[in-house]
Structure 1
Amino acid sequence: MHPRLLLAQLEEHPLRQRLNNEFHARPPIPITGPVLVSHLVFKHSATTGQAEKENLAKLCQGHVCTAIDSSDAHVMIETGAFRMRWELHTEFSSYTFFQSLEPGQELSPDATAFDAVNPEWLAGIPGKLMVAAHVELRSTAEISPESVLANLTPNGRTMVASRVADNAAWIFTDFKIDNGFSRFLILNESMTQRQTGRTVQRLVEIETYRMMALLGLPVAKEVGKWLYKGEKELAELMDRIGQAKGAEDERQILAAMSRLAAEVEHSVARTTFRFGAARAYHGLVMQRIEELREARISGLPTFAEFMQRRLLPGMNTCEAIARRQEELSARVARNSQLLRTRVDIELERQNQELLGQMNRRAKLQLHLQEAVEGLSVVVLTYYGSQLVQYLAKGTKDLHHLNTDLITAASIPVIAGLVAWGTRRMRKKLAAEDAGAH
């Protein structure tokens, strides 16, 4: 049987094609010639995917569009005026516009790759603008790297630059927002079309992931202020534990400790995703920079050095705050357990005292019971002798017996029988109780 026919008879996993398509998703776009790339990123909620797709459909109402590649999270649209790539991510969506330029064409400061797009369509994109970046691609024949380097010194702005792709291109940027956009300049010396596409994609991803990673920094600063108060409160509670004089004080401290533990866990639950995402985004930034294969330009910092100085401290702050939260949570849990142990020991001591008091009461009741049993023997003996006396008086005329003598003789017998019966009943009850336990 032919292998293709044999495969057709096999049961295929339902995710096989989907997983393979995901492996090939978002390939870089081959780029030739001078190009202006405008990259927009919108932070959104998890429920805006359908709204974005509906808005994408409106884009083609005013243009003749051709969908080159389309999936649930990726759309490539080609028009006569521009090319647009849309990608849907967990927290954000990106819109990358490509507009071809003529060699030597001058660009105004307000020029974008989406000038041909209806402004109303841009305003209808769900979410809030997070990143806006321009990437201008030129050849070294149009703009020489030396002319760019010569113009860097007078303006005094911190410029980041490097040779990339094994010295096949030059990249310049300052990571500052100018006229609403951060800007990158690529001077292509000998890159292939796919190398150029990958380089452009890495630059816009570096800018995107850099901004997304920094979302964790304001959260870290906010949580840091609260953590200082929480750690101080925990230290005060520990002092109160040492000064506690009774179970009531310890119960009050335990209630305060439980409240603090709830606040810490709430903070951890609220920030775990943000700090984890910041760590992941930072890793992607450094990975994309490594893929550029940078070579230093004398006198200018590389992308990796710039991120080490500017981005890494913020990420370290997020890591430190996340670690402090976890440590505070663990400390609160340990101290709460210690306090609960003290409270349990005090409760056990009180229970032992209570059991001792109950034991003493039980012994007292036993003594009273024995005393009552002795009295009951006397009472029953008295009533029994009275019955014997009445019986003797009834038979006095028949047998001429002395009733007083008969009554006196019956008293020891009656007392013995009553005492024997009481003792036997006590032994029987004790045996039943022992059998029940």
Structure 2
Amino acid sequence: MRDHELRRKAVAEMHLRRWPIVESPSTIIQWVVMVADADRAEELAAIKAKAAASDTVQNPTHLDGALGPDLRFSWERHSEGTSLTLFVGGEAGQGFGDLAADERVAAALAWANSLPGEIVRCTRILLTTDDAAAERAMQGVAWERDELVSSHIGNGTMRMWSDFRIKDDGFGRLVVAANGTHPSDLTRTLQQLQELGNYRNRALLGLPLARESWPRLNAAESSLRDLADRVAKDQETDDQLLDSLSDLSLELASLSTAMRFRMDASKAYAQLVEERLEQLRPRPIEGFSSLDDFTQRRFRPAMNTCTASMDRLGELAVRAEQLSSLLRARIDTRIENQNGELLSSMERSISMQVRLQQLVEGLSVVALSYYLLGLIKLVLDGVAKATHSFEASTILALLVVPVVLLVWIAMAFAKRRLFGSGVEK
């Protein structure tokens, strides 16, 4: 037996996106960035240069390594952007002090800042042993006290604090007290907490686009209402109405193309946010806003706005299609009526042609009979002059009826033969 070519990749996939075991006290620094396709190769090369020599995961979308004693990193490539996480232990990882004071950490920060990409979220996470150590560390940070969120999370007594504001150095601040939580559970819960914020920020990228779309949606709705009135009044040509309706449909299609990817991504990220929130099971603490309240008050209304924008765009597209169908049905009905009138006119014309043909046939019998009797008269006159035995006019008079009948029978026979020949062909 041989290994399937995708076996190791399939197994490795189940071990991706796992942080190394984190112990308190320590500091975690994470950047979530959007990287252009042209810069992905440069980023991957820079990460591989620092990654561990032996890649146990064997997947180029997840690399980790050490940048020095008590200084590790983990890098992940997502479907949209990447994330880089530094794990700082030892003396440098205790407190919110100036990390650049440690040369190793300063070098790591300089290397991280040299990587390509646009920052979506970057956070400094301080992991302390207990609540008392966390409260001491928080004293040196300018928190927005009215917006400070604190909750117990996970299965044990872990507690988190954050106001989810960007500080002067460009980083957000998050404080987590382990309170005796096992390192494995601590690491998993901490990663889920960070993923909650990362997915939340990525989902919120769709909100500005949704807000910008409302004026265009209002204009499209007004145009659609105006077009419906113009179609109902029937004071313009169908071509003019169809051109206006086509322009509106193109505008809606353009808007849908511009919004669809971002709105679908926001919807997917919002679902992940709800899943992470359910996994964290935040429990409120008196005097603080809970993590669930914070999400309920700010994030979910934003996602409702994104959903409402796409629903409204979809409804406008359906209404435009319905109006287009009605207009096309009216055009088709008019074309059918015109075709019916044309067919009736053709039927009358054909009927008239048949009657004229019958009249011409009757006149043709008379004409042919007349010419044939003329020829017979010439013959009879010649014979009468030569023999002086009969009157040519008398015999000619007697031949008029038989000649006319003979010509009529001959033409009917010829017509029957010609018609039969045409049918066979």
Q: Would the aligned equivalents of 1:392 and 1:401 in 2 still touch at CA under 8 Å? A: no
Which residue of structure 1 lines up, in the alignment, with residue 162 of structure 2?
173
Residue in 2 that maps onto 1:301: 289
Correspondent of 2:300 among 306, 312, 333? 312
Which of 11, 22, 39 does residue 20 from structure 1 map onto? Answer: 11
Amino acid at match of 1:187: A
- 1:403 aligned partner: 392
1:192 aligns to what? 182
Shift in Å at residue 228 of structure 1?
1.1
Task: Describe the SS at the equivalent of 2:106.
Answer: coil
- Which residue type is aligned with residue 274 of structure 1? R
Find the aligned partners of 1:225 and 1:80 in 2 and give their Cα distance. Answer: 53
Q: Does 1:285 align with 2:270?
A: no
Counterparts of 1:393 and 1:84, CA distance in 2: 132
The alignment status of 1:360 with 2:348, answered yes or no, reads: yes
Counterparts of 1:30 and 1:383, CA distance in 2: 122
3-state SS of the aligned residue for 1:176?
coil
Deviation by residue 1:254-297 (Cα, 9 ceiling, x = unmatched): 22222222322232233222111101111111211222222211
> In the TM superposition, what whole-angstrom CA distance separates every residue of 1:321-342 from its partner, at most 9, and x where no partner exists?
1111111111111111111111
Aligned length: 420
Mapping of residues 151-300 of structure 1, within 5 Å: 156-179=145-168, 180-245=170-235, 249-300=237-288
Opposite residue 173 of structure 1, the aligned amino acid is: S
**Matches of 2:361 and 2:109 in 1, distance apart?**
107
Cα distance in 2, alignment partners of residues 414 and 125 from structure 1: 112
Q: Distance in 2 between matches of 1:398 and 1:299?
A: 149
Q: CA 1:433/1:325 → structure 2, altered by over 3 Å: closer, same or farther?
A: farther
1:65 and 1:78 in contact (8 A); partners too:
no
Give, in angstroms, the shift of residue 242 of structure 1. 1.0
Q: Which moved more, 1:394-403 or 1:47-56?
A: 394-403
Q: Are 2:123 and 1:130 aligned?
A: no
TM-score of the aligned structures, taking structure 1 as reference length: 0.87
SS across alignment from 2:124 = strand
Is 1:41 matched up with 2:32? Answer: yes
Asked whether the equivalents of residues 156 and 181 of structure 2 are also in contact (C-alpha less than 8 Å), the reply is no
Q: Deviations over 1:347-373 (max 9, x none)?
A: 111111111111222222222222222
> Partner residue of 1:3?
none
Secondary structure at 1:177 match in 2: coil
State the 1:178 CA deviation: 0.4
Deviation at 1:428, TM superposition (A): 5.4
Change (3 A) 1:258 1:435: farther
Residue 41 (structure 2) aligns with: 50
The superposition leaves residues 388-409 of structure 1 with CA deviations (integer Å, 9 ceiling, x where unpaired) of 1222234332574432233323
Q: Secondary structure at the match of 2:20?
A: coil
The residue that corresponds to 1:30 in the other structure is: 21
- Give TM-score scaled by structure 2 length: 0.89
Unaligned runs of 5+ in 2: none
CA 1:41–1:109: 2 relative to 1, 3 Å: same
Are positions 1:326 and 2:317 aligned together? no
Match of 2:133, SS state, is coil
RMSD across aligned positions (CA): 2.9
Alignment match, 1:350: 338
